[in-house]
Amino acid sequence: MTSYDKVAYEAAMQPVRRRYVDRLRRDLARLSAHRSGMTLESEELRILIHGLRGSAGIFGFMATSRLAAELDQRIASEGVCDDASVDRLITELECVVHGDEEADRRGDESAGSGSAGPVRSSPEKIPWREQ
């Protein structure tokens, strides 16, 4: 890919990324409600966490993906997940969601491209494959 292609790709991905962050807001609300006593059924919780495991990585949110993967594996092997792990995932999602909102307030067109500075929600740089 040339530099021009990367820029065009990032521009094309912005609407998709914004829709994904909207989904993360909903997932965050569901996990927060779960921790507040409105417990999700175990299968519903597993599906939510498993979905985060895969989708967060696609959008470059590797820390979110790793935390969800740890929880997903724990659920698969032990059938349960501990509250502290869910709390860590909630905290990470809050960083992603609020970081994206902050980038929107700044009018930062590069939100999520990895160039928005130290905002934790910025996806980690994923090396481009040169072909």
Each residue's pLDDT, cut to its tens digit, for the chain (131 residues) gives 556 688 888 888 889 999 999 999 999 999 999 999 988 888 899 999 999 999 999 988 999 999 999 999 999 999 888 889 999 999 999 999 998 655 545 544 444 443 332 334 455 544 433 43
User: Is residue 131 in a domain?
Assistant: no
Give residue 24's pLDDT. Answer: 97
CATH number for the domain that contains residue 33 = 1.20.120
Domain that holds residue 82: 3-106
CA distances from 33 to 23, 61, 65 (A): 15, 22, 20
User: Is residue 125 in a domain?
Assistant: no
Helical axes 62-78 vs 42-58, angle rounded to 10°: 150
User: Is residue 129 in a domain?
Assistant: no
Give residue 40's pLDDT. Answer: 86
Give residue 117's pLDDT. Answer: 29
Give residue 125's pLDDT. Answer: 45
Give residue 127's pLDDT. Answer: 41
Question: Is pTM beyond 0.75 here?
Answer: no
- The number of folded domains in the chain is 1
Give residue 110's pLDDT. Answer: 43
- Report the Cα 16 to chain-centroid distance in Å: 13
User: Is residue 30 in a domain?
Assistant: yes
Give residue 3's pLDDT. Answer: 62
Give residue 23's pLDDT. Answer: 96
Radius of gyration of the chain (CA): 16
